[in-house]
A = this chain, B = another copy of it.
Amino acid sequence: MDNYAKLWLEYSPKGKNKDCKLLKNIVFGGTASDRIIENAKKELTLGLKGMLDITPVITVNFDEAAGKKPEQTALSSGKEILDSEEYTVFIKDESLCISSKSSTGILYGAFDILRTVASEKDVETVYADDKTVRPSNPLRMLNHWDNMDGSIERGYSGKSFFYENNEIVINERTVDYARLIASVGINAVVINNVNVKQAASYMITDRYFAKLAELGEIFAGYGIGLYLSLNYASTIEIGGMDSADPLDEGVKAWWKEKMAEVFKKIPTLKGFLVKADSEGRPGPFTYGRTQADGANMLADIAKEHNALIIWRCFVYNCRQDWRDKKTDRARAGYDNFMPMDGDYHDNVILQIKNGPMDFQIREPISPLFGGLKKTNQMLEVQIAQEYTGQQIDLCYLIPMFKEILEFKTYCNGGTKTSDLSDKECSDGTVTGSEGWSDIEDIGGNGSVKPDSCDTVADIISGKTFNSRFSGIAAVTNTGNDFNWTGDYLAGANLFGFGRLAFSTGLSSGEIAEEFIRMTISNDRDVVDTIKDILLPSRAIYEKYTCPLGIGWMVKPNTHYGCSVDGYEYDRWGTYHRADHLGLGVDRTDKGTGYALQYNEPNASVYNSPEKCPDELVLFFHHLPYTHVLHSGKTVIQHIYDSHFEGYAEAEQLAAKWETLRDKIDKDIFDNVSERFTRQLYNAREWRDQVNTYFHRISGIEDEKGREIY
């Protein structure tokens, strides 16, 4: 019938809450009606009809709004976004009420109710006490690496649903996409690849204005801000100038005129994402300028239009000589961006990948988090699974994102002890109106919050440094495949990213359960089985691919499948340095010094092979195969064991899935089964290639005498 799945907006009949009177009278309070409110009404009506055959009476009523101020806040800072997007669901008389300072908050409340019903939780119980949810992060963003020819860079779910033959496509699926992501709390989307080339360079010309304006309106109806990736060299490529020097007056004048035109033609546009000086893309370095020079020039002009410049920190030497053991790609982000901390203007956000390399299954956290103290920051993660299975191998990423968010940066001093618990700082789900202090601007003084608020979650929520803007972005995994994400279970990463970005305090298990209940089944056995499949899947992928944080043992270009030496002799700064005695990269004070980019005590921990956590020990140290880990195993035995275990555990995942054969939708079952078949093939290759490579080079036998080739 349809040519795409509805995922968690399926709204199929549910067994619970059928007689819940509260759902028949719903009151929206706290804001005047607008198109977002209309969409919230439509959604509730559609969902409750589908799930419970209830047609609710929905009233927009300022006075019923439990004392909330019926005003729409002009969104001018991260804190104001949070204030306005916070919502409360509560019971009053015979009605279920949602109040918020913004219509977007009302919409989120509506989706909260629909989630409760879809998950077959008891509405009266869930909302017995007022449920107030304040988003954890001001910006919760998806980055599409979609190209205008319809291809998607690192996309494994079909073609783009935004573009076809260099035209922007708008249809029913566009609206459903907005519904899907708004329902999990996404409030910002970059719709084109950060590598802006060819037709995409012309997005900021009248060739595409009309369609972009139309798209922006659809997004705005769901509280989603439209962002574009920008070609830094637009002055040259479409402006016909001979420079993109950010300090050149002609360049500035061109941008001033261009942005005036763009924001006039696309009124909903919220800003731009820029990849400059990266992997061959042009940037301010070309002109001997700093990254701050480039970002600020654009930001100052964008500010006139209340818009943001989100500037990526993925700047490194991608023409490194593999013979050179001093240059270290891991250092590059910090080296390039730290010196200008404080120089970035207040509508610039630096977007920082979670690790210093590039979305490997295991990396340390970027030392820019906790390094930068006077700069707006966003965390960039990737749900596209470029290096983590490409939606063939199952890799539920939420546990990994939790680790990242919970990482203690010790940005406020590693030796002090705080009175506040971590949870109070990091948990995005709070009751009441608790927020952080009213200091509005980080300015140049770097005023900071109490010293325990030092996790990545704290920083990107804006709390730690009272950042003006902050948040989290994911490179998305969507495409025009029937199920949107290639592997149906990869939908848990799309769903989960949004949920986690909105409510960082949710656990991986809670999120998995919500996804399963909303998209597959509320049957307890099914839910538990799929949770048992999802939750360990990242650890399993890590086991059969990447020992001890070494990374990059993938096939060049495609980044799928094992190739131990695939990047060893290349220009990308990605080496394992294995020889017949040992492997790993010395990033200590005796090596590249990368470990020292961290605050203490992290620096000392990473700098020491004895203290460094096993899972990162080869990222920071070159060690003999005979080195004994915290686990008590030698490095080589860990390699053998983890690869044998990883494959065996992948087999168990597939076997667990097989038990669902007649218990769930056949299409979903078959889709995931087919992926598991490919995953097992792939996992066996990883296991045998990695083990064989290290057996051949080390000459050390497996203690357990298993077959190595």
Q: Verify if A688 is at the interface (C-beta below 8 Å from B).
A: yes
How many copies of this kind of chain does the complex include? 2
Measured between beta carbons, the chain B residues less than 8 angstroms from A579 are 695-697, 699
Closest B residue, CB atoms, query A578 = B696
Q: Which residues of B contact A555 (CB under 8 A)?
A: 556
| Residues of chain B contacted by A564 (CB below 8 angstroms) | 565
- A709 and B565 form a contact (CB under 8 A): no
Give per-residue flags for A674-709: 1 if the beta carbon is below 8 A from chain B beta carbons, else 0: 000000000001001100110111110000000001
The smallest beta-carbon distance between A574 and chain B, in angstroms, is 15
- Chain A interface residue count: which class? 20 to 34
Q: Name the one of B322, B580, B709 contacting A698, with C-beta atoms under 8 angstroms.
A: B580
Q: Return chain B residues, CB-CB under 8 Å to A580.
A: 580, 696-699
A569 to B579, CA, bound (A): 18
Report whether B578 and A569 are in contact in the complex, using a CB–CB cutoff of 8 Å: no
The reply on A590 being an interface residue by CB < 8 A is: no
CB nearest to A700 among chain B residues: B580
CA distance A685 to B556 in the complex (A): 17
CB distance from A456 to the nearest CB of B (A): 36
Interface residues of A in 488-515 (CB under 8 A from B): none
Expressed in whole angstroms, the minimum distance between the Cβ of A708 and any Cβ of chain B is 10
Residue of B nearest to A580 (CB): B699
The CA-CA distance from A689 to B698 in the complex, in Å, is 19
Given B323, B685, B692, B695, which contacts A709 in the complex, CB threshold below 8 Å? B323
Task: Give Cα A560–Cα B693 distance, bound, in whole angstroms.
Answer: 23
- What's the Cα separation between A578 and B556 when bound, in Å? 21
A697-B696, A697-B697 known; A688 vs B562 contact (CB < 8 Å): no
Contacts of A556 in B (CB 8 A): 555
**Chain B residues in 8 Å Cβ range of A562:** 569
Q: Verify if A581 is at the interface (C-beta below 8 Å from B).
A: yes
Closest to A685 in B: B569
Residue in B closest to A692 when the chains form the complex, CB atoms: B569
Q: Is A447 an interface residue (CB 8 A)?
A: no
CA distance A175 to B137 in the complex (A): 70
Query: Does A563 make an interface contact (CB < 8 A)?
Result: yes
Q: How far is the CA of A569 from the CA of B695 in the complex (A)?
A: 14
Query: How distant is the Cα of A696 from the Cα of B685 in the complex, in angstroms?
Result: 23
A residues apposed to B, CB below 8 Å: 322-323, 555-556, 562-565, 569, 578-581, 685, 688-689, 692-693, 695-699, 709
Given contacts A569-B689, A580-B699, 17 further A-B contacts (CB under 8 A): A322-B709, A323-B688, A555-B556, A562-B569, A563-B569, A564-B565, A565-B565, A569-B685, A569-B692, A578-B696, A579-B695, A579-B696, A579-B697, A579-B699, A580-B580, A580-B696, A696-B697
